[in-house]
Amino acid sequence: MSDIPEKLRILLDYWIGHNREHEEEFHQWAGRAALFSTEVARYLAEAAAEMAASSRKLEKARETLAKSKEGG
C-alpha cells in the first residue's frame, strides 16, 4: 500500500500552517507599510487575502483526502 496519502496529509497540515504564518506577517507589514505607502499596504493586504484563499483550498484538499481514506 502506498504511503503517499499519509505524506500528503502531513504536507497539507504543514502548508496550511505555513500559509497562515505568512498571512499574519503580510497583515503586520501592511500596517507598517501604510505609514509611508498606502499602495504598498494595499498590495500586502491583497497578498494576505490570497494566501488565506490558498489555505482554504488546501483545507478542502485535506478534507477530501480524509474522506477518501474513510471510504477506501
Q: For all residues of the chain together, what is the average pLDDT? A: 95
- The three-class DSSP label of residue 3 is coil
Mean pLDDT over residues 58-71, rounded?
91
pLDDT over threshold 80, residue 27: yes
Mean pLDDT over residues 58-70, rounded?
94
Mean pLDDT over residues 13-20, rounded?
98
Mean pLDDT over residues 27-47, rounded?
98
pLDDT over threshold 80, residue 1: no
pTM of the model: 0.87
Terminal CA-to-CA distance of the chain, rounded, Å?
A: 12
Decide: 33 and 42 in contact? Cβ < 8 Å.
no
Listed in sequence order, the residues at least 6 apart from 53 whose beta carbon sits closer than 8 Å to its beta carbon are: none
